[in-house]
Structure 1
Amino acid sequence: MGGQLGFLYRQLTFIPKPLATSSLEGKVALITGANIGLGFEAARELASCKLSRLIVAVRDPIKGENTRQTILTEAPSCHVEVWIVDYDQYDGIIAFAKRIAELDQLDYVLLSAGLKQMEYSTSHTGHETNVQINHIAASLLSLLLLPTLLRLSRSTGNPLRLTIVSSEGHFWIPFKERTAANILKRMDEPETFGTAMQRYCTTKLINVLWTRELASRVSEHEVIINTVNPGFCYSGLHRHVKTGAGIMNIVLWMIGRTTAQGGHCLTDALVEHEDSHGRYLSEQQITDPSSFVLSMEGEVAQKQVWRETIELLKHEAPNADISFFSE
C-alpha cells in the first residue's frame, strides 16, 4: 500500500469524487483549518450539499471572515460562522471546546488544521512545532470534544462523526523515537528532527496511532472516529518548503491532485463509510495503515503515545477536563 511505486500509481490513476449525497440539510459541521487548502475545500463542498450550519474554526479572524463570505456566495442557504481557535494556546483550545459544548447539535467534526514545518522550531508551548500543532493540540481538542459528541449522540440515538486528517507519509518514516523512554520528549530534541518531511511524516504516523487508540475507547454506535489520507495535493501545506521548492512544484504539477480533489477525500471520510470506526481511509476507501501500525510494536507505541499525551496534558493544560479518558 505505502510503497513509492504504489503511491505514484494511485496519484496518477485515482481521481477523487465529490460526495454522492446531494443533501446534508438539517446537519451541522465543524471544520478546523477551514480557511485554507483542503479544509477550505471540504467546507465548500459540505456547504454546497445544503448543510444547514457550518462552523469554520480558524486562527485568523480576517481570513476566517473571507472564507465565510466565499462560502456564502456559493451556498447562501448555509449558516456559516467563524470561531477562533489557536492550536498553539492551550487556554484557547479549552475555551473553544467549552463553546462547542453549548451546542445543541453537531453531526460532523473534521480536524484538518495542521502544518508541515521543514525546519526545527519550537511553539509557544515549548514543543517542536509540528508535534504541538499536528499531534498535541489536535489530540487535546479531540479529547475535549468527545464528551459533547457523546452527549449529542445519546440524545438523538444516532452516531456522530469525527475525522482526523493524516497522510500516506506515515508509511515512509522509520519512527526511531519509538524506542525512547518518552517518545514526545525525544521528539522535542533538535537532533531528532531529521531532514525534509521526516518530522511531518512522523506526526502523521502519530495521528494514525492516536485515532486508533481514541476510537478503541468510544463505541462506534455513538461516535465514528476515523483518519484519512487525502493524497499529495496542491495545498497551502507546502508553503514552508524552501529548499527544493522548485522540485516540489514540478512534482505537484506532474502528479499532484487538485485542492478540491483532496477536499473530496476529506468529506468522503467524514460523511460516508459507516463501518470505518478506528480505520484509515485512502483513495476514498477503507484500507490498512502501515505494517508498523498493525504490528505488535506499533500497538506498544500506540499505547505509549496515548499515556504520554494524557500525562503531558494533565501537566501543561491543567484547566482541561480530560478526566473522562484518564486511565
Structure 2
Amino acid sequence: MGGFLGFVWRQWTMKPKPLPSTLSLQGKTALITGANSGLGLEAARELISRRISRLILAVRDPSKGEAAKEDILSSSDASCTIEIWPLDHESYASIAAFGQRVRGLDRLDYALLNAGVKMMKYEKSVAGHEMNVQINHLGTSAVSLTILPCLRRTARKINAPTRLTVVSSEGHFWIPFKERHAPHILARMDEPSSFGWQQQRYYTTKLLNVLWTHELAARLRKEEVVVNSVNPGFCYSGLHRHSAGIIGVFLWLFAWTQREGGWCLADAVVGHEGEHGAYLSEQRMTTPSSFVLSKEGEAVQKKVWDETIAVLRDEGKGVDTDIV
C-alpha cells in the first residue's frame, strides 16, 4: 500500500461497488459536507438510492447546494427530505452556527466530512492560515467537534453507534512531512517557505486528517460513535481544478468515475460497523502509512491534536473543544 505501482494496480484492477440493493436506510439522517458536487454529491445520491429519510447537504454556497438538490430530485424517485445548510470552513462563526443547528436535530446517524480543497499555490485563508490547512484540517476538525454531541445523543437514543467518517487520501503516504520537526507544526505550515511542491501541501493535510481521526477515535467509545477515515481513490472530480500539466494524463489513464468514488464514500459511511479508528480504502479496512503507525507518528498525532485544540480555543469562538 502506498507505492506508485500499487496505486496503479489498484486503480486498474479494483472496481468499486454500490451499496447492497437490499440495504435500507429508512428512518435515518445523514449529513455530508462539500456535497454540492463531485464525490460528495455522488455519495448523497447513493444514500438516497438506499432510502435514507433525511439528508443534509452542508455547502459553502447555498445556491449551488439548491442546484445540487434539484439535480438529485430530478434523477431519483426516492422519498427523502433534502436540506441545504450553509457551512464555510474559513469562518469559525459559520462552523459554530452550523454546529448549533446540528444540535437541534432529533437524530444524526451518519456524518461524512468530505469538504476539501487542493490548492497548488500558497494562499492565505480569511482566518489567516494557509488555505489547505484551514479548509482540510482546521475546518474539518472544528466541524467534527461541533457535531459530536448530536451523534452521541442519537447513539444513546437508538442504542447503537452512530458514524463519523473523514475523507482523506492515499497521498498521505507520499509526503516527507518535514514540518513535524518544527516546534509548532501548524504554525510552520502557515509559512510560505514550507509549502513545498504543488500537491505536497494537500497530501500533508490529508495526513493530518488521518492523525486527527485516529486521535479522535481513541478518545471516543466505539459503542457511541464509530470514527474512521477513508480514501475514496483517484477519481475524476472538481478537486483537481487547480492542477495543471500531467494530471490530465493521470486522470485519463487511472481515474475512477465520480460515481465510483461516491460509492467508496457511501460504503465507508454506512458499512464497516466493527472498525473504529480505521483507515478505509478500496472499500475495506487497510493499513495507513508506516509513519502513522510508528512511535513517532503516535507522538506527532498527539502534538497535532494539542496544537489544533489550542488554535480552535484561541480563534474558534463558539466551537466547543471540551467535549472529548
Same fold flag (TM > 0.5): yes
Amino acid at match of 2:145: L
Aligned residues: 322
User: Residue 286 of structure 1: SS of its match in structure 2?
Assistant: strand
User: Partner of 1:283 in structure 2?
Assistant: 282
Instruction: Give distance in 1, aligned partners of 2:218 and 2:156.
Output: 18
Cα displacement (A) at 1:307: 0.2
The one-letter amino acid of 1:202's match is T
What do the CA deviations read for 1:90-142 (whole angstroms, capped 9, x no partner)? Answer: 00000001000000111110000001000000000000000000000000010
Partner of 1:65: 66
Q: Contact 1:53 / 1:80 at 8 angstroms: preserved in 2?
A: yes
SS at match of 1:119: coil
Q: Please list the CA deviations of residues 13-67 of structure 1 after superposition, one character each: whole Å capped at 9, or x if unmatched.
A: 0000001144211111100000011001000111111111111010111110011
Q: Matched residues in 1 for 2:24 and 2:75: separation?
A: 15
In structure 1, C-alpha distance between the alignment counterparts of 2:302 and 2:138, rounded to whole Å: 15
SS in structure 2 of the partner of residue 324 of structure 1: coil
Amino acid at match of 2:243: V
How many Å apart are 1:321 and its aligned residue? 2.0
User: Helix, strand or coil for the counterpart of 1:96?
Assistant: helix
Paired residue for 1:174, among 176, 187, 204? 176
Contact 2:93–2:317 (CA under 8 A) maintained in structure 1: no
Q: Which residue of 2 aligns with 1:299?
A: 298
Aligned 1:234-245 pairs, distance under 5 A: 234-242=236-244, 244=245
Q: Is the contact between residue 230 and residue 282 of structure 1 (CA under 8 Å) also seen in structure 2?
A: yes
Aligned to 1:38: 39
1:52-88 deviation per Cα after TM superposition (whole angstroms, max 9, x unaligned): 1111010111110011111112334111111111111
Same amino acid, percent of matched pairs: 59
Kept in 2, the 8 Å contact 1:50–1:75? The answer is no
Residues 243-262 of structure 1: CA deviation (Å, up to 9, x unaligned): x1xx2112111110000001
Measure the CA separation in 1 of the matches of 2:260 and 2:5: 21
3-state SS, counterpart of residue 263 of structure 1: helix
Hey, what does 1:9 align to over in structure 2? Answer: 9
Displacement after TM superposition at 1:12 (Å)? 0.5
Q: Distance in 2 between matches of 1:61 and 1:264?
A: 24
Q: In structure 2, what is the Cα distance between the partners aligned to 1:122 and 1:292?
A: 28
| Counterpart for residue 101 of structure 1 | 103
* Matched residue type, 1:140: A
The AA in structure 2 aligned to 1:290 is S
1:211–1:227 contact (8 Å) kept in structure 2? yes
Alignment of 1:104-119 (within 5 A): 104-119=106-121
Shift of 1:148: 1.6
Shift of 1:156: 1.6
Tell me the TM-score normalized by structure 2: 0.98
Residues of 1 paired with 2:158 and 2:9: CA distance?
A: 43
| Residue pair 1:48, 1:74 contacting (<8 A) in 2 also | no
1:11 CA displacement: 0.5
The alpha-carbon deviation at position 144 of structure 1 amounts to: 1.0
Match for 2:279: what amino acid?
Y
